[in-house]
Structure 1
Amino acid sequence: MSERAVLGRVMTGTFVLLMLALAVVCTWLGVWQMHRLAEKEALVAAVDQRLNDAPIPVPDVASWPSLDLAALNFRSVSLTGAFRYNQTVTVFTSLSNARGAASGPGYWVVTPFVLADGGTVFVNRGFVPEALQEAAVTDAESDSVQVTITGMLRPGEKAGFMTPAADTSNRVEWVRDPQRLAEMVDPALAPIAPFYVDLPAGAPGELPQGGETVIAFPNNHLGYAYTWFGFAIVAVVMLGFWLFRQRANSKS
């Protein structure tokens, strides 16, 4: 067999292996997307159930280090304690598709809530327009009145690579991360919960404007799965067509 023929067979074998490997990888990715689809649908069903469940007591301090926050996300909880309004921090946001009257650039008004049983939970009292930020952090006094409130438990948001540092002089943060927020309040409020609580909507027109929790789970996994399975089929069809042409050429 000539050197050229050997080289041709090697190239043919390499191409066949590459195309088969491509088909296998695409099939695996399609199957993986189907698993992700099942997980997402299970998550949506679980959250729907949590939204309809009666409030539970907020987890106590002893459980905070080992909490499964994903399992508690969007769970309605009740808290008894007192707000520390003079420790309020604002978190910049731009509210679109608002349920209330206020929207656009503005701030979440986040206030420490000292639990009667110990520990502090940051409570997102709602949204205020940008022009009211200064008032939100200055027109407040410390409050020792014990109240019971109900809200939605949320895991803390994580800062990204491009997230700016906090503006401590104006008491402005950029993410609702309890660890970062804790750095802007009195250390005596520790320990700080690894989650925060969103308050529900109040009376129409009331500020801060609660009830703006976004409950949405993008679910494009089925489309992605079809795409990967389609690539796998195309790879196999192209390989079959190429092998057919090779055999036809060898007979001519």
Structure 2
Amino acid sequence: MSEIRTVTGKAQGARRKAARPPLWLTVLSLTAFVLLIALGVWQIERRAWKLALIDRVEQRVHAPAQPIPSPAVWPAVSTANDEYRHVSVAGRFLHDRETLVQAVTEEGPGYWVLTPLQRNDGTQVLVNRGFVPSERRDASTRRDGNPDGQVAITGLLRMTEPKGGFLRNNVPQHNRWYSRDIAAIAAARGLENVAPFFIDADAGSQSGPGPIGGLTVVRFPNNHLIYALTWFALAFMLAGKLFVTFGGGLFRRKRFVHEPDGGSDAVARRTGSDAGTIVEQT
């Protein structure tokens, strides 16, 4: 009887060992679980940051217009602290130095018209006066909308966009612009003492048939909750698989199986009159 139990125990041990995954796969699975949980937590943190950013920008956009930062603090102007502030500025447009930047808006494809604004203190600020369609690219078709003399502009403070647009680099020597790169435009147009930001003019700054202002799109995608739930779901699915692989045997119930007389397996294991009942794992 003891010999048969020894054989049976060895067989069960062999089966458990065969079903046990290799160590490297176990370590990899546990590492993946921890990583998935970390990614989910990171997305929750990113969501909180994004909601705070959206709230700050909303407050800036709808606040009363304030004068643009003074030249003394221009080096400290940053995206986090200043972009999308509602600001005002006064000066005289230098229409002969405008720059057209390719754009696609709700009005269709065309160009942003960036024009330097000469201020009384000698500094200059690039103003995105708004959008014009391709057929109005030539400045001669927009002369009635180009104001002379002193003007007051209100709009949103925007940060420079260096290195071109998506998969497209600015080509100043050929006058092809895909982003509003302040430094590059200033160099190409011979501008000095230029602010490191530009102003997106609002609709109220439009002059007659000039460029269409007020088309700034303030949109921040916020899909972090969906991403977090996805990472957590994958982590729990992996945890379930690990539980089945490593812990499922602890909860298996035992059942009694009656071994019929005359069976070859029964003959191999029979040692007495009561040996027809054996215990197996299910």
TM-score normalised by the chain length of structure 1: 0.82
2:210, 2:18 → 1: CA distance?
Answer: 76
User: Which secondary structure state, in structure 2, belongs to the residue aligned with residue 194 of structure 1?
Assistant: strand
User: Counterpart of 2:259?
Assistant: none
Further displaced range: 156-165 or 85-94: 156-165
Deviations 1:69-126 (A, max 9, x none): 322111111112211111000001122xx3xxxx212100100112222321110000
User: Counterpart of 2:245?
Assistant: 242
Superposed displacement of residue 64, structure 1:
1.4
Query: In structure 2, what residue type is equivalent to 1:163?
Result: R
Deviations 1:122-158 (A, max 9, x none): 1000000001112269959x98733322111011223
Taking structure 1 as reference, are residues 182 and 239 closer, same or farther at Cα in structure 2, changes over 3 Å only?
A: same
> Which one of 208, 212, 217 corresponds to residue 209 of structure 1?
212
Further displaced range: 63-72 or 156-165: 156-165
Taking structure 1 as reference, are residues 114 and 162 closer, same or farther at Cα in structure 2, changes over 3 Å only?
A: same
1:229, 1:164 → 2: CA distance?
Answer: 39
> Which one of 193, 196, 211 corresponds to residue 194 of structure 1?
196
Superposed displacement of residue 215, structure 1:
0.7
Superposed displacement of residue 206, structure 1:
3.4
1:22, 1:167 → 2: CA distance?
Answer: 48
User: Counterpart of 2:189?
Assistant: 185
> Which one of 123, 130, 135 corresponds to residue 134 of structure 2?
130
Query: In structure 1, what residue type is equivalent to 2:202?
Result: P
**Aligned partners of 1:125 and 1:199 also within 8 Å:** yes
1:15, 1:94 → 2: CA distance?
Answer: 50
Q: Which residues in structure 2 correspond to 1:153-192 (within 5 Å)? A: 153-158=157-162, 159-160=164-165, 162-166=167-171, 168-169=173-174, 171-186=175-190, 189-192=191-194
**Aligned partners of 2:39 and 2:228 also within 8 Å:** yes
1:209, 1:175 → 2: CA distance?
Answer: 18
> Which one of 13, 17, 37 corresponds to residue 23 of structure 2?
13
Greater RCO (Cα-Cα under 8 Å, separation 6 or more): 1
Taking structure 1 as reference, are residues 136 and 216 closer, same or farther at Cα in structure 2, changes over 3 Å only?
A: farther
User: Counterpart of 1:43?
Assistant: 53
**Aligned partners of 1:121 and 1:195 also within 8 Å:** yes
**Aligned partners of 1:84 and 1:143 also within 8 Å:** no
1:43, 1:222 → 2: CA distance?
Answer: 16
Taking structure 1 as reference, are residues 36 and 15 closer, same or farther at Cα in structure 2, changes over 3 Å only?
A: same
The question of 1:222 aligning with 2:235 is answered no
User: Counterpart of 2:256?
Assistant: none
User: Counterpart of 1:120?
Assistant: 124
Query: In structure 1, what residue type is equivalent to 2:123?
Result: G
Aligned pair count? 238
Taking structure 1 as reference, are residues 136 and 48 closer, same or farther at Cα in structure 2, changes over 3 Å only?
A: farther
Query: In structure 2, what residue type is equivalent to 1:200?
Result: D
Cα RMSD of the aligned pairs, angstroms, is: 3.1
User: Counterpart of 1:152?
Assistant: 156
Query: In structure 2, what residue type is equivalent to 1:123?
Result: V
Structure 1 unaligned regions, length at least 5: none
Deviations 1:19-61 (A, max 9, x none): 1111110000000000000000001111111122111111122
User: Which secondary structure state, in structure 1, belongs to the residue aligned with residue 217 of structure 2?
Assistant: coil
